[in-house]
Structure 1
Amino acid sequence: MARIPAAERRAELVAAAVRVIAVHGVDGATTRRIAQEANAPLATLHYCFAAKEELFAEVFEYVSGQYREVLTRNAVHSDVSTSARALLRGLLEWYLENRDFGASIIELVSWAQRQEGAQAEMVYNEAFATMRTILETAKTAADRSLDSDTIDALTYIVSALSDGFALNWLVFTDRAAAERQIELTVGVLDAWMAANLGTVAAPAADSAPHAPESPEASSERNLRSLVSWVGVD
């Protein structure tokens, strides 16, 4: 049997740790379970990682890298509104297709907040920096005069909406409902952008030409759409 290179084995163990954390939580992610999930001898895990803390540090790096990759993949290099909408939709669809990964992120962030250090902040700060760079690039390309505070607020809104969706999806696990809620969540972003940016991106599926819509009309339309999701029965 061919010997697996150490770097490849480390990557397999990190990915296995993410899957184990999703099911058993951080406290239940024992080295034995992680090794079994990776189909590797326990001795191999201890050879690759001198301590469990070293493994978890690499898990955080992996999670942060995956999040940045999703953002970069969904950077459409368009105007600010279209770019923000694409980032949010990309994150929501990623969480929908990678439920275990979302569970792992929440577990890891909760665990990290109880430890010394700033690993959870690192994940968020790197995600914010990536998202902000994409939106700043869109602002420059479109020659929009948006101030730094507005870009920061938009970055926060996209992050908060995606986090809320991820948690709701983990709790209820209703895929049909989650698919509808993607549209609702993007609609919330549209309403915020209509009120704060003065423009809002049209849904990607809507390719028919339309007359320009005023910010006030766009905001009112989006708010009506949001209210329509609220049932009383």
Structure 2
Amino acid sequence: MARIPVAQRRRDFIEAAVEVIAAHGIDGATTRRIAEQAKANVAMLHYCYDSKEDLFADVYTFVAGKYREVIEGSDPHTTLPEAARQILRGVMECYLESPSFTAATFELVSWARRQHGDRGIAVYDQALDTVRKALREASAGDSVTPELIDEVAYVLATLADGFGVNWLTYGDATVARAQMEINCSVLDTWLTTRLAAVPAKA
């Protein structure tokens, strides 16, 4: 039987941890459950990670990277409204595609905020910083202030996270698809009104 590289084993344990956290919460995410989910033994998990905290640190990195991947997938050569719409739809699609990722992410951020305040904030901050960067690139050359970029990022986070909570609560993909369209419509209406109040560039 071929030996599985440690790097691959780490990825297996990270993905397994996401599934276990989604199903059992942080407190229920024991090393035994994570190892079983990864189809490995506990000794292998401890060989790859010195502690569960070390594993969770990689899970945080995975979560932040997933958001970054989705957000950076938006077209930078477009308008601010279109970039915002692409980001919102991309994050909602990511949530819809993987309820486990959605549940684990919310659980991790809430737990980290309670136990390690800075780490919980850092995960959220990283996602928002990536959103701001994408929005700045899309609005380059326009008379868009940093304050407006912050407002758009906040609205995107609020709509996406609200969608995620509803999706986790009810789990109806058909309803969730309809809610995605509602959220995009809300974003479009708000952006149209908000941008109309921005003074024209001289």
Q: TM-score range by the shorter chain?
A: over 0.9
Name 1:26's counterpart in structure 2. Answer: 26
Find the aligned partners of 2:52 and 2:20 in 1 and give their Cα distance: 14
Q: Name the SS for the 1:114 alignment partner.
A: helix
Find the aligned partners of 2:92 and 2:53 in 1 and give their Cα distance: 30
Is contact 1:108-1:120 (8 Å) kept? yes
Q: Name the SS for the 1:25 alignment partner.
A: helix
Find the aligned partners of 1:155 and 1:5 in 2 and give their Cα distance: 39
Q: Which residue, out of 155, 163, 169, partners 2:167? A: 169
By relative contact order (CA 8 Å, sep 6+), the higher-ranking structure is 2
Name 1:147's counterpart in structure 2. Answer: 145
Q: What per-residue deviation string (whole Å, max 9, x for no partner) do you get for residues 175-207 of structure 1?
A: 1111100000111111110111129xxxxxxxx
Find the aligned partners of 1:124 and 1:189 in 2 and give their Cα distance: 20
TM-score, normalised to structure 2, is 0.94
TM-score, normalised to structure 1, is 0.82
Name 1:73's counterpart in structure 2. Answer: 73
Q: What per-residue deviation string (whole Å, max 9, x for no partner) do you get for residues 145-204 of structure 1?
A: 0111001100111111100000000001111111100000111111110111129xxxxx
Find the aligned partners of 1:22 and 1:138 in 2 and give their Cα distance: 34
- Please identify runs of 4+ aligned residues in structure 1 that moved more than 6 A: none
Find the aligned partners of 2:16 and 2:133 in 1 and give their Cα distance: 31
Is contact 1:80-1:139 (8 Å) kept? yes
Q: What per-residue deviation string (whole Å, max 9, x for no partner) do you get for residues 37-60 of structure 1?
A: 000111000111111111111111
1:93 deviates by: 1.3
5+ long unaligned stretches in structure 2? 198-202
Alignment-mate amino acid for residue 40 of structure 2: A
1:114 aligned onto 2:104? no
Name 2:103's counterpart in structure 1. Answer: 103
Find the aligned partners of 2:131 and 2:41 in 1 and give their Cα distance: 39
Higher helix share: 2
